[in-house]
Structure 1
């Protein structure tokens, strides 16, 4: 059987399953490194992976969706289709204008899972800043990303992390 022969619903289910499989592999990899070498080493190696993986994924999304310097909304569109975004709780846009978008994640499967397992919060600020900056650079090079709050930063109960996208260069 070929993908072209599958129904739309089946394709959506498969896409979600593959995204979940990818997240499972990422989580197992991180957990194994953390158990063997500690959280600091796991975070360091995870960052190395995301530095490269986020560029590759952003390039693929840009090509698949035909995103070409379409302003901040094109970054948000690309973000919506990143593999880890397909099954995780999505972000909420707080403010939106052509030159500024503020968005946040009210839930985080990774942090909530770690909390449930009695583990310390994953300090994801550097990794997430790298991922979002790479996504922005690939899709809309005139944009920049700034972290407003992300673990290990303190944050209110309403969100785990909050981000600002701006158009800095015309």
Structure 2
């Protein structure tokens, strides 16, 4: 990969700040194309394309993070926890992760997407359907034994204390 010489002179603090800027830019691009389709063709069509994009992107993102972190083939829940903390979202959303036995619960406390839509007077993004693909496929790349279940996500909110929550279960074959 080409080295951007301009980055070599930045301090660690500046690089961290730049990662935050890049994360916001990535999310802005995701929102811009989505809202363009939503305005022209409606929410159903926008959601179809969003699902298609996330089915592919989340696998690419997970694969690159797994390689960067040098996670083993079966990274388990600890590997998933670590990988989740390196996603673009981790730089712009407030989240929390807890592991108990063979489960990991991932909760997004503050979601930049929903906050932006609310600020613009738009309906919330019905992200549950896309999230199911996104989180399930991300987890499978980290460890094929991990499955994902949505606990709460718009439009089906069951937990008012967060924007969304997801349960990951590791099937390690032990009964």
Residue 38 (str. 1) matches residue 38 (str. 2): no
* Aligned match of 1:55: 59
* Aligned match of 1:15: 19
Check 1:2–1:154 CA distance in 2 against 1; reply closer, same or farther (3 A cut). closer
* Aligned match of 1:75: 80
Q: TM-score, normalised by structure 2?
A: 0.88
The Cα shift of 1:14 comes to: 1.5
Residue 87 (str. 1) matches residue 92 (str. 2): yes
Q: Which structure 2 residue ranges, 5 or more long, are not aligned?
A: none
1:71–1:98 CA contact under 8 A, matched in 2: no
Provide the C-alpha distance between the structure 1 equivalents of 2:131 and 2:43, rounded to a whole number of angstroms: 16
Provide the C-alpha distance between the structure 2 equivalents of 1:43 and 1:23, rounded to a whole number of angstroms: 16
* 1:84-123 equivalences in 2 (<5 Å): 84-89=89-94, 91-93=95-97, 95-123=98-126
Provide the C-alpha distance between the structure 2 equivalents of 1:134 and 1:72, rounded to a whole number of angstroms: 14
Provide the C-alpha distance between the structure 1 equivalents of 2:83 and 2:9, rounded to a whole number of angstroms: 27
The Cα shift of 1:2 comes to: 4.3
RMSD over aligned Cα atoms: 1.6
Provide the C-alpha distance between the structure 1 equivalents of 2:123 and 2:158, rounded to a whole number of angstroms: 15
Q: Which structure 1 residue ranges, 5 or more long, are not aligned?
A: none
